[in-house]
Amino acid sequence: RTKIAQLHADAKAFGGQTVTVAGWVKSIRDMKNFGFVTLNDGSCFADLQVVMNRDALSNYDEIAHQNVSAALICTGEVKLTPDAPQPFELTATEIVVEGVSDPSYPLQKKRATVEFLRTQQHLRPRTNLFRAVFRIRSVAAAAIHSFFQEQGFVYVNTPIITTSDCEGAGEMFRVTTLDPQNPPLTDAGEVDWSQDFFGKHASLTVSGQLNAENFAMAFGDVYTFGPTFRAENSNTTRHAAEFWMVEPEMAFADLNDYMDNAEAMLKYVLNKVMDTCPDELNMLNKFVDKGLLERLKHVASSDFARVSYTEAVKILEEAVAAGHKFDYPVSWGIDLQTEHERFLTEEHFRRPTFVTDYPAEIKAFYMRMNDDGKTVAAADCLVPGIGEIIGGSQREERLDLLEGRIKDLGMNPEQYKYYLDLRRYGSCKHAGYGLGFERLVMYLTGVGNIRDVLPHPRTVGNADF
């Protein structure tokens, strides 16, 4: 069996040969004595034009009456057509109907909206838009692995089930073997967690970072790339309950090392996608985001901006003084809102921007305290159109400061015993970051809603298929 991608890659080599291709019908045109089937097999963005002649095909009428999305197996001769819009076509000698498509097939020729397609989750990968998005997603994932593997990072799988809340935001999905309707109770009338499988109330992980730090203290440079879960009840275009995160962690590295690595990684992935997916990007550039190609090229070849949180707040305050309106007031100490992030990266710097050294109060417990005693060595990477795509920091490697911070935040030091131990036995300066993979795919495709870069999105009220 030949893939359509193979034909497009080297049509000349196939000229005159007989091949068999299997795929799904995009359209059928019947001109009575001859007709055309446009077939796509998913192996590449481009389609295959199959020509059928009544004389040569005993089941011509059966094929001519097939509906969009029927599964066909087509055998025929590859004919080079240098003068036609498509460089070759397949002249069919046999077409077998593998699976008919009911006339109720909901995605007919007319361009459907992404909102409608979300109601057809099982069929949307057969559309041009989603074929483009999900191939780019796959290429970007592979590029991330090759970037880190080429640099000798060790890929470590971190657990999905855990009892620690890495980000301390309490946004966890609970996991338990106890019956929620009728849990066993202690004599004091409380839920008896000792009868749970884990003996505690566990959760789905919000981040693999603490486990990645563990392995960085043995392998030096490591990364995780896996699903993470957040029960944020925020119905936005950038938040999903289940999303994938890439989390590199580097020993003997500081905040600048993290930013250098992240910038190089993003450019590597951008270049890989531009090299591998030109058809997909052209389609997205035409129908989804007219500035996409130009932006990706520009980003791949220019330096990211770097600005401290304190400077960033000044820039925002100056914008307010000059008449710019934000919904959320700006002052030192606030957690930057999406509107602020987008102003910085879209209006002010006009390129990806790292904001560094945030107030300790608005950041997680593990971030390294700066000498000013107020800010931590954190950095978020913001990009135009989306806002934050990466959050990261240098980690607090000093045992006394880390213990102090855990206690100040009312967290249980017992729970972080292993994590604290890493500061006892050969602690070292280290840094890492988390890239929201879906946000990167949104950036690479120009798609504006996280639901449309997730194969089967898990958002509020949505977990059926």
Site residues for ligand 4AD per CB under 6 A: 166-167, 207, 209, 230, 232, 239-240, 243, 245, 247, 388-392, 432-434, 436, 438-439, 450
Binding status of residue 35 toward Mg ion by CB under 5 A = no
* Terminal Cα-to-Cα distance of the chain (whole angstroms): 31
Contacts for 235-238: CB closer than 8 Å, 24+ residues apart: 235/459, 235/460, 237/448, 237/449, 237/450, 237/451, 238/338, 238/386, 238/387, 238/439, 238/442, 238/450
Binding status of residue 248 toward Mg ion by CB under 5 A = no
Contacts for 13-18: CB closer than 8 Å, 24+ residues apart: 14/78, 14/88, 15/78, 15/79, 15/80, 15/88, 16/77, 16/78, 16/79, 17/77, 17/78, 18/75, 18/76, 18/77, 18/78, 18/93
In the bound state with Mg ion, the residue whose beta carbon lies nearer, of 387 and 391, is 391
Least distance to ligand 4AD from the beta carbon of 234, Å? 7
In the bound state with ligand 4AD, the residue whose beta carbon lies nearer, of 167 and 280, is 167
Q: Which stretch binds Mg ion (CB under 5 A): 12-20, 241-249, 328-336, 385-393?
A: 385-393
Q: Which does 306 bind (CB under 5 to 8 A by kind): ligand 4AD, Mg ion, none?
A: none
Least distance to ligand 4AD from the beta carbon of 209, Å? 4
In a 13 Å sphere around the CA of 197, the CA atoms on its Cβ side amount to 11
Binding status of residue 434 toward Mg ion by CB under 5 A = no
Q: How many CB atoms lie within 10 A of CB 9?
A: 12
Least distance to ligand 4AD from the beta carbon of 90, Å? 42
At 119, list the tokens.
Answer: 């109601």
In the bound state with Mg ion, the residue whose beta carbon lies nearer, of 391 and 446, is 391
Least distance to ligand 4AD from the beta carbon of 183, Å? 28
Q: What is the DSSP letter of 456?
A: S
CA atoms of 144 and 14, how far apart (whole Å): 34
Q: Which stretch binds Mg ion (CB under 5 A): 12-20, 59-67, 328-336, 391-399?
A: 391-399
* DSSP secondary structure of 300-348: HHSPPEEEEHHHHHHHHHHHHHTT---SS---TTPPPPHHHHHIIIIII
Q: Which residues of 287-323 are buried (b: 16+ CB within 10 A; e: fewer)?
A: ebbeebbebbeebeeeebbbbebbebbebbeebeeee
In the bound state with ligand 4AD, the residue whose beta carbon lies nearer, of 92 and 212, is 212
Binding mask 337-376 for Mg ion (x = CB under 5 A): ----------------------------------------
Least distance to ligand 4AD from the beta carbon of 435, Å? 6
Q: Which stretch binds Mg ion (CB under 5 A): 2-10, 110-118, 383-391, 422-430?
A: 383-391
Least distance to ligand 4AD from the beta carbon of 24, Å? 31
In the bound state with ligand 4AD, the residue whose beta carbon lies nearer, of 271 and 338, is 338
Least distance to ligand 4AD from the beta carbon of 393, Å? 6
Least distance to ligand 4AD from the beta carbon of 261, Å? 12
In the bound state with ligand 4AD, the residue whose beta carbon lies nearer, of 94 and 242, is 242
Binding status of residue 446 toward Mg ion by CB under 5 A = no
3-state DSSP assignment of residue 367: strand
Strand order in the sheet with 174-175: 161-162, 202-204, 174-175
Q: How many CB atoms lie within 10 A of CB 389?
A: 22
In the bound state with ligand 4AD, the residue whose beta carbon lies nearer, of 87 and 227, is 227
CA atoms of 58 and 91, how far apart (whole Å): 14
In the bound state with ligand 4AD, the residue whose beta carbon lies nearer, of 5 and 362, is 362
Binding status of residue 391 toward Mg ion by CB under 5 A = yes
In the bound state with ligand 4AD, the residue whose beta carbon lies nearer, of 209 and 285, is 209
Least distance to Mg ion from the beta carbon of 288, Å? 26
At 206, list the tokens.
Answer: 């919000």
Residues near Mg ion (CB under 5 A) are 391
